[in-house]
Amino acid sequence: TKSGIVLFGIPGAGKGTYGRLLAKDLGGLKVSPGDLFRDLLRRKEESALSRRIESCVNSGKLVDDHTTFELITACLSENSSAKFLILDGVPRNLSQTTLLSQHLNLSRFILLNIELEESVLMEKLQGRRVCDHCGRNYNICAVHRDGFDMPALMPLNGSECDDCHSPISQRHDDTEPIIRKRIELYREESLPVMGVLEGLGVQRLDFAPKKGLKDYPE
């Protein structure tokens, strides 16, 4: 049986960054639907599936559970030897919690809830830049106030990725109206998931980081 960490938190709290760090340091398998969708879209293969995913991701809506779980179960079976999972962005609503509990014994997982105040995450999400080719994250915005110490993460060379020298750009869903929409969806659909997980016997750890982390490439 598998165990692991369910990373939870409002969009922009840093699930992806902590997920990469934990996957690297603990040797776990990161399972991130957001990354799986973006990887698929980066391949630029035209299909009804990719168009459906693209319109949801770009407008800040959740992709339907069926599509999401097809990608997740494919990722799990390609990496079936992984014993320790880092779930970054799933489950995101109550029906996904039920679906996931059919694949995994969630009571063996720890819930890590990352908290970040909304004004800071608005700034950080609008400052995020992503490599068009490999997906590595940068941030042009620094936050140094109210005890926050989050430096910008600039690429070494202008606007190209340190790793693969491709251009970096803003995610379509990192604009203010779409960020507001993602936050609203998080409050309505995702927040109730924590109580359900706790009801399944999952231990919850709340964590409100104030210091920025260097982002880890995959």
Site string for ligand ADP, 46-75 (x = CB under 6 A): ----------xx--xxxx----x-------
Strand pairing of 128-131 and 168-169? antiparallel
H-run or E-run covering 114: strand 109-114
Query: In angstroms, what CA-CA distances link 110 with 28, 72, 98, 159, 214?
Result: 14, 19, 17, 38, 24
Site for ligand ADP (CB under 6 A): how many residues?
19
Site string for ligand ADP, 173-202 (x = CB under 6 A): x--------x--------------------
**Backbone Cα Rg of the chain:** 17
What is the spatial distance between Cα 115 and Cα 13, in angstroms, rounded to a whole number? 6
Please report whether residue 4 would count as binding ligand ADP according to CB under 6 A.
Answer: no
Near Zn ion in 120-139, by CB under 5 A: 131, 133-134, 136
Q: Of these, 6, 57, 130, 161, which contacts Zn ion (CB under 5 A)? A: 161
What is the spatial distance between Cα 143 and Cα 140, in angstroms, rounded to a whole number? 10
Nearest to ligand ADP of 28, 97 (CB atom): 97
Site string for ligand ADP, 9-38 (x = CB under 6 A): --xx--x-----------------xx--x-
